Amino acid sequence: MKPLMSKHEHLSQSLYCLAGNMIDSLMNKNYNAILICLLSLFLTSCAASAGNAPPAVSPSKQVSSSVQTPEYQIRAGDQLDIKFFYNPDLNEQVLVRPDGRISLQLVHEIIVSGLTPAQLTGVLTKKYAEELDKPEIAVIVRSFGGQRVYVDGEVNKPGILNLITSMTVMQSLAEAGGVKDTARMSELVIIRRGPDAKPLALVINMEKVVDGTEMGRDLYLMPNDIVYVPKSRIANVNLWMDQYIRKNIPLPIGLYYNINPAP
């Protein structure tokens, strides 16, 4: 009894047979057979790609138009104005150091990196309550330092973008030179630092933004966000054909045939 072949072995054998038939047809100038072989190769590769296709993204991971943009978190390089309503002599303008701390009168050093302006206001109010009677404090982010986002995948100019002002996903794609024809805009991914600094992946159907039906999906980016544009499934099939068929089927180097019949 012959041992059963695995799916991969069966597929490899089929591809080699099809390639051999195509070469024989080239030798005999049987152009109809050549077209049949090419069509068979394409259908075989599509079947293999369907078997190895990535799992579909569940609807629960899709970002709806009602997603709220998280509040800004203070980071190193930001310039802060600390305002005291009833004690203006304590007003200060400070720069967040690379270690995420600032130095203030009376309360000395405070870790502020990762806090929202509202959270920092609460921390300062509590600390200054030990020195002042009912302090009223406001925290204003005067400027943002070293804020960046990263755009990668199927864009024409992947790289780092400076986040000087507010920027949406579509604006970042435009800054990256636009998307390629092989981009899968229906499943664009944003990787963002969530609670406890854990990465959070948001999947957005940007086709709804492009056609103008759901502009609310065009989220505002946060510092250090990663925008990743995946390949379309057709592009993945073409890549698979290039890597698997053209590189694994041994054809004579320099072998060339003109499959266009002479008039």
Give the pLDDT score at 257.
Answer: 37
pLDDT at residue 31 tops 90: no
User: Which of 187, 171, 178 has its CA nearest to residue 155?
Assistant: 178
Question: pLDDT category, 143, cuts 50, 70, 90?
Answer: confident
pLDDT tens across 88-98, in order? 999 999 999 98
Give the pLDDT score at 21.
Answer: 56
Give the pLDDT score at 77.
Answer: 86
pLDDT at residue 27 tops 90: no
Give the pLDDT score at 236.
Answer: 64
Give the pLDDT score at 10.
Answer: 53
Give the pLDDT score at 178.
Answer: 94
Q: What is the C-alpha to C-alpha distance for residues 24 and 34, in angstroms, rounded to an integer?
A: 9
pLDDT at residue 170 tops 80: yes
Give the pLDDT score at 54.
Answer: 43
pLDDT at residue 213 tops 70: yes
Mean pLDDT of 104-117: 90
Q: What is the C-alpha to C-alpha distance for residues 76 and 58, in angstroms, rounded to an integer?
A: 36
pLDDT at residue 76 tops 60: yes
Residue scoring higher pLDDT (248 or 202): 202
**Is residue 143 classed as helix, strand or coil in its secondary structure?**
strand
Cα-flanking dihedrals φ and ψ of residue 153, to 5°?
A: 100, -140
Q: What is the C-alpha to C-alpha distance for residues 87 and 243, in angstroms, rounded to an integer?
A: 70
**Is residue 190 classed as helix, strand or coil in its secondary structure?**
strand
Give the pLDDT score at 244.
Answer: 56
The CA distances from residue 201 to 177, 228, 254, in Å, are 23, 10, 47
Least confident of 42-51, 177-186, 203-212: 42-51
pLDDT tens across 147-167, in order? 789 999 999 999 999 887 788
pLDDT at residue 56 tops 50: no
* Predicted TM-score of the model (pTM): 0.48
According to DSSP, the β-strands at 148-153 and 226-229 are parallel
Give the pLDDT score at 174.
Answer: 94
pLDDT tens across 1-14, in order? 445 555 555 545 55
The CA distances from residue 104 to 43, 116, 129, 144, in Å, are 69, 18, 14, 19
User: Which of 169, 147, 181, 167 has its CA nearest to residue 227?
Assistant: 169
